[in-house]
Structure formats: C-alpha cells, structure tokens
Chain A
C-alpha cells in the first residue's frame, strides 16, 4: 500500500531535463512527499522531500501541486549516472506510528547518450 502512483518507466536523453511525475490523491495533511532513487546494485538513496512549497537541492527540484495531490521530480540535466529507479513516497514526518517508509514500484529512468 504505497499510496502513490508512478509510471513504470521513462526515457531521457543525456543533458536534457527530466520530469518524473507522481500522483498521491489520498495524501493527508501531515504527509511529506519524499523521493528516493536506487542505482543498479545499490541501496536506495534520498533525493529530496517537501510539504507544500517547491524545493530545490543540489540533486533535483521538487514541484508540488497546489492541492498536493501530485508532484514532479525534476532533474535539470540528466546524466548517465542518473539512470536509476526513482521512488515517490509519502511519509508522516510528525513521527510515531506514522513514520514508516513504504516503497512502491517506482519509475525506472533510462538515460540515452
């Protein structure tokens, strides 16, 4: 029960922007939107998270819809090293029994040179 919906796969060309969508229509008021990615043969790694406002960090940007029912992870210039499975996850950052971190199927991003 991942509570998010993502496309199974996407393709991008190297050095072009990539927009990875995620739908989370049942999001609650205390759910934060988290993105992780998993490179081949590695454990998942954190990418970014946000609540309502758009967020930027050195890896990516996160655009959150005004109603919070969807979000988009933006990689500004895809590189071959960005080829990975990207997971969109809802997590209640206020803790307690809601602090779990459940992964769905994710989106497998392929980057072509």
Chain B
C-alpha cells in the first residue's frame, strides 16, 4: 500500500477562493481524520469519520469548512471562502481500530497558503 495520499502537496490561493484538499486513506482502515497544524495552535483535530460517517466535527473552525467522505477510499476538506488565517499544513490520517491493530498513518500533508 502506498500509504495515505494527500493532494495537492502545496496550494497557494487568493483570499476568497474555494480550496479543496483531497485524501485517499489506506484500504481497510475504518477511521479517517483531518488535522490542521500551525505554529500557534499546534496539531488540531478538525473532524473524523468512522466507516465514512462523520463522528465529531466540533473541531471545524467555521461554516466555511466542510468535509465529506463519499466512499471508503476518498475524502475531501473544502474551505469556501478561504482567508489568510486558514494558512496552515493540513494532514489527513487513517487507522484501523482494535486493541492491537490501531496505528494511525498520516499523509505528507498539504501546505496551504492563502494570500
């Protein structure tokens, strides 16, 4: 397996534009997580899914943020409209869940810059 795949790796966009980040989890993993990381706030959990169903989106900062998981092999995080304060590295991670088999694997991240 190629691991968790995120695209794009880098995104530069103008304020007000729509941004879509994509994630392909590892096949067979039940859980998918979206995180945002900044120097000021560290690694924040935005939302996570269990079997494609959103379980907790309390970390999504505003209504401008939305996430979907239409099937087990794909998820998107959308920001509309984007603002400069959304600039951060966004990570997607997936994991199984069990007493022994529980390692979460992270993608390489998408570095978003909103100017």
A43 with B109: in contact, given A32-B102, A34-B102, A99-B31 (CB under 8 Å)?
Answer: yes
Does A91 make an interface contact (CB < 8 A)?
yes
- Interface hits, A33-68 → B, CB 8 Å: 34, 36, 38, 42-46, 49, 51
Give, as a whole number of angstroms, the nearest-CB distance from B91 to chain A.
Answer: 5
B55 and A46 contact, CB distance less than 8 A: no
A97 and B55 contact, CB distance less than 8 A: yes
- Interface hits, B31-65 → A, CB 8 Å: 31, 33, 35, 42-45, 48, 50, 55-56
For B75, what are the chain A residues with a Cβ–Cβ distance below 8 Å?
none
Does A9 make an interface contact (CB < 8 A)?
no
Interface of B is mostly: strand
Does B71 make an interface contact (CB < 8 A)?
no
Which residue among B44, B104, B107 has the maximum number of chain A CB atoms within 10 Å of its CB? B104
A46 and B31 contact, CB distance less than 8 A: no
Give, as a whole number of angstroms, the nearest-CB distance from A36 to chain B.
Answer: 8
Residues of chain A having any CB pair with chain B under 8 Å: 32, 34, 36, 38, 42-46, 49, 51, 87, 91, 93-97, 99-106
29 examples of A-B residue contacts, CB within 8 angstroms: A32-B102, A36-B104, A42-B108, A43-B91, A43-B106, A43-B107, A43-B108, A43-B109, A44-B43, A46-B104, A49-B102, A51-B99, A93-B97, A94-B99, A95-B30, A95-B50, A95-B98, A97-B50, A97-B56, A99-B97, A100-B48, A100-B55, A101-B48, A101-B93, A101-B104, A102-B45, A103-B42, A104-B42, A106-B42
